[in-house]
Amino acid sequence: MKNLLIALVIIMNIGAFIFGEEVRPVRDDIGFCWNAEGMNRLMEFLKSTEKEKFTLPGLVAGISAHDDYLYAGRIYYPLFKNIKAPEVVIFGVTHGTVRKEIGDPQGKLIFDEFSYWPSPFGKVEVSPLREYLKSKLDPALFLVNNKAHELEHSIEAMVPFLHYYNRDVRITPIMVAPMDFDTMKTISSRLSKVLMDYLKEKNLEIGKDIFFLISADANHYGKDFNNVIYGEDAEAHRKGTERDRKIAGTCLSGLMTDEKVHNLTGELWGVTYKDFKDTYWCGKYSIPFGLLTVIDLVRQLGKGKELTGEILRISDTYTGGVLPLTQTGMGITAPFSLKHWVSFLSAAFYLK
């Protein structure tokens, strides 16, 4: 009987794996929060210390940091508290360390096969949209790789915040590999057409029923990032953060167009600045790809609708430091100093 029970357990586990019932494992168990008590304490702290009021009518898309919660919690907060849609598409980064482990794919989207993603409040279901996209997109445009999603932390950072505000939220995780602008235009255009078909078939409204979230941190500064173009003192920090603010204000605010996104890639890919080969933003592919997709989707809505952007918050680990919370299950995954800092932002995009 004992052997029979063991066999049944093994069969059930194999069946769960075959039919995609497994939960994607946690990658970062230090910088993010995976227990309900700690997450509730974090959110109550952010709420109690918030001095600004953010009302974001017409919100359809956003950019969020994915750095440690104790560093970037105040950056996450104003965006996530305003996301009301029950379904969220998340465009994530494919960090260089992850690409190295999976053969450095180029010009591809990367999907997973997990049925659920972890949360401090249980598990979050993956939307049927993911399988719909796989079935409708040209297979040459994407990969399916669970290992990539297991190794990458940029999408999982979004899930606890989303689930805190909506226990019924469903997600569609999409990692964006490096690609040139023409490839971005091609793939984002095809993706947006499939998304529009899905919206029509399900009678969904952008913003109300489905939201588009882009995960990205900004500048990574320090010798370990091979990025000390301004030096390693307070003036270097001022210059570096000033440039980040200029990029955000110029390229992520106001009316969003393909041309503005193209200009953004020039900034992020080091085309328009001779003193930079790279700006070291880890969102240099997820941001423009996600924005092109949403812009094209809005274009398909017709009736003169346009996408407008607004920067909600921008800061960095050196300026903001660490939130004064202890015994939450959270820590920090890297130090901060004038010799090592990371900047990040949150931005909102409205349908007008």
The confidence band for 71, taking pLDDT boundaries of 50, 70 and 90, is very high
What integer pLDDT is reported at residue 20 of this predicted model? 46
The letter for the amino acid at 181 is F
What integer pLDDT is reported at residue 57 of this predicted model? 87
Which of 335, 330, 346 has the alpha carbon at shortest distance from 31? 330
pLDDT tens column, 130-171: 999 999 999 999 999 999 999 999 999 999 999 999 999 999
pLDDT tens column, 182-227: 999 999 999 999 999 999 999 999 999 999 999 999 999 999 999 9
Instruction: Give the C-alpha separation, 131 to 318, whole Å.
Output: 41
The sign of the torsion formed by the CA atoms of 198, 188, 346, 104 equals positive
What integer pLDDT is reported at residue 21 of this predicted model? 57
Which of 158, 169, 172, 220 has the alpha carbon at shortest distance from 33? 158
Listed range (56-65, 96-105, 273-282) with the worst mean pLDDT? 273-282
Across the strands, what pairs with 241?
none
What integer pLDDT is reported at residue 273 of this predicted model? 41
Mean per-residue pLDDT of the chain: 92
Cβ neighbours of residue 206 under 8 Å, at least 6 residues apart? 60, 199, 212, 297, 298, 301, 351
Q: Per the structure block, which two tokens stand in for 34?
A: 């995976």
pLDDT tens column, 161-186: 999 999 999 999 999 999 999 999 99
What integer pLDDT is reported at residue 6 of this predicted model? 41
Task: Report, as an integer, the average pLDDT of 31-50.
Answer: 98
pLDDT at residue 274 greater than cutoff 80: no
Mind listing the domains of the chain with CATH numbers? 2-351 (3.40.830.10)
* Phi–psi pair at 256, nearest 5 degrees: -95, 125
Cβ atoms 64, 214 nearer than 8 A = yes
First to last CA, the chain: 66
Across the strands, what pairs with 174?
91
What integer pLDDT is reported at residue 275 of this predicted model? 46
pLDDT tens column, 281-337: 999 999 999 999 999 999 999 888 999 999 999 999 999 999 999 999 999 999 999
Could you tell me what percent of the chain has a pLDDT over 70? 91
What integer pLDDT is reported at residue 271 of this predicted model? 54
Instruction: Give the C-alpha separation, 219 to 268, whole Å.
Output: 10
pLDDT at residue 15 greater than cutoff 50: no
Q: 0.85 exceeded by the pTM? A: yes
Task: Report, as an integer, the average pLDDT of 42-68.
Answer: 95
